[in-house]
Amino acid sequence: MKDFAHQVFFWFLFFIASVTIVAIGFRNFDFYTLSFEERPFHERYDELKPSGIESHGYGIIGSCMIIFGVSMYSSRKRIRAFKNFGSIKYFLEFHIFLCLLGPVLVLYHTTFKFGGIVAVSFWSMTAVALSGIVGRYLYVQIPKGIKGDELTVKELEEKSIELYRELIEDFELDPVDLRKIDALASPKRTKSVSIVSLLTFFILNDLTRRGRLKSIVQHLHGKSVDTASIKKIIAVANERIKLLRRVHFLEQVKNLFHYWHVVHLPFSIIMFVILFIHVGVAITFGYTWIY
């Protein structure tokens, strides 16, 4: 039930973000596609220029979303008083939602035209958003228990053994199929794997695993195993592959996640410093919104 609620929450946020981005883009498409020289002659130029009431609003709302998203997630993660205040994964999903939709709104605020010091802030924001996607992917590769605490290699191996027994005892899988399943969990070389190679393996493994399991599915069909059982076998096999992969590379992924902060954090700081400078200058020169 909790997994279902999480899926509903995730897809709801995805829907809201998608509709917002598409609706604004569609509404102002004719303006955004004009050259910068032609835009002042557009009938809605006063509203859609960066200091206009609509575009300015996108910038303010987008910036507030980013600030709130970062402070909310950081507070939940680091302040002890908030430790038991809801599941960390929901805070993370909402943080990602705010910090991906917010930059898009800021981009609409710029009307795709930016330069000078603001350009530095924008590209820093872009780097933060893109690295955030990578960080989210790395985060889910670090296995966690129900309470969100990290699992040890021993705990992972115990879970893996349980799944192995389930495949043998409940589904009577033969050793050949079991070896095929386990082979999908690790590259040919497991020692001295570079950061790029490790990340590439994880992504390709996720993208191609379903197709590579087809040979096992065909083999099971040949043994007249019913479709419902095959689906259960593949679900268990997928879970075992993920567990084995995490056993092999748990420490490497943790180290990679640590290095990820080296990229994510400095760009975040640069983005916020320039953002506050930009806001301060705008207010000083009278570029206020509806107030």
Q: Report pLDDT for 207.
A: 79
Q: Report pLDDT for 77.
A: 81
Which residue matches tokens 């705010």? 98
Q: Looking at the DSSP assignment, which residues form a beta bridge with residue 144?
A: 150
Q: Express each pLDDT in 96-148 by its tens digit.
A: 899 889 989 999 999 988 777 777 777 888 888 877 777 777 777 766 544 44
Together in a domain, 136 and 200: no
Q: How far is CA 87 from CA 2, 29, 80, 226, 284, in A?
A: 10, 39, 14, 38, 41
Domain with 188 in it: 153-255
Together in a domain, 109 and 164: no
Together in a domain, 134 and 275: yes
Determine the longest span between alpha carbons in the chain, in angstroms: 77
Is the CB of residue 70 less than 8 Å from the CB of residue 99?
Answer: yes
Can you tell me the distance from the alpha carbon of 287 to that of 21, in angstroms, rounded to the nearest whole number? 25
Q: 179: how many CB neighbours lie within 10 A of its CB?
A: 9
Together in a domain, 64 and 144: yes
Does 291 reside within a domain? no
Together in a domain, 221 and 269: no
Does 105 reside within a domain? yes
The overall average pLDDT reported for the chain is 80
Together in a domain, 41 and 180: no
Q: Report pLDDT for 42.
A: 94
Can you tell me the distance from the alpha carbon of 92 to that of 88, in angstroms, rounded to the nearest whole number? 6
Is the CB of residue 65 less than 8 Å from the CB of residue 97?
Answer: no
Q: Report pLDDT for 17.
A: 94
Within 8 A by CB and 6+ apart from 88, the residues are 76, 77, 148
Q: 265: how many CB neighbours lie within 10 A of its CB?
A: 12
Counted domains in the chain: 2
Q: 75: how many CB neighbours lie within 10 A of its CB?
A: 13
Reported pTM? 0.69
Together in a domain, 125 and 176: no
Does 273 reside within a domain? yes
Q: Express each pLDDT in 210-249 by its tens digit.
A: 777 777 777 777 777 777 877 888 888 887 777 777 776 7
Q: Report pLDDT for 271.
A: 84
**pLDDT band (50, 70, 90) for residue 55:** very high
Measure CA of the first residue to CA of the last residue in the chain; give whole Å: 45
Q: Report pLDDT for 147.
A: 43
